[in-house]
Amino acid sequence: MKSRLIAVGERAPRWVAEGFSEYQKRLSHWLPLELVEIEPGLRGKGRDAVRATQDEGARVLAALPKNACVVALEGRGRLWTSEQLAQRLEHWRGQGRDLAFLIGGPEGHAPEVLARADEQWSLGPLTLPHMLVRLVAAEQLYRAAALLVNHPYHRA
In the structure, what pLDDT confidence band is assigned to residue 155 with cuts at 50, 70 and 90? low
Quick: pLDDT tens for 47-92: 788 888 999 999 999 999 999 999 999 999 999 999 999 999 999 9
Which ranges in 34-127 belong to alpha helices (H)?
A: 49-63, 82-95, 111-116
DSSP-derived letter for residue 36 is: E
Mean pLDDT across 114-118 = 97
Mean pLDDT across 36-49 = 82
Whether 73 contacts 131, CB under 8 Å: no
Quick: pLDDT tens for 21-34: 999 999 999 999 99
In the structure, what pLDDT confidence band is assigned to residue 94 with cuts at 50, 70 and 90? very high
Q: For residue 73, report the phi and psi dihedrals to the nearest 5 degrees.
A: -80, 120
In the structure, what pLDDT confidence band is assigned to residue 154 with cuts at 50, 70 and 90? low
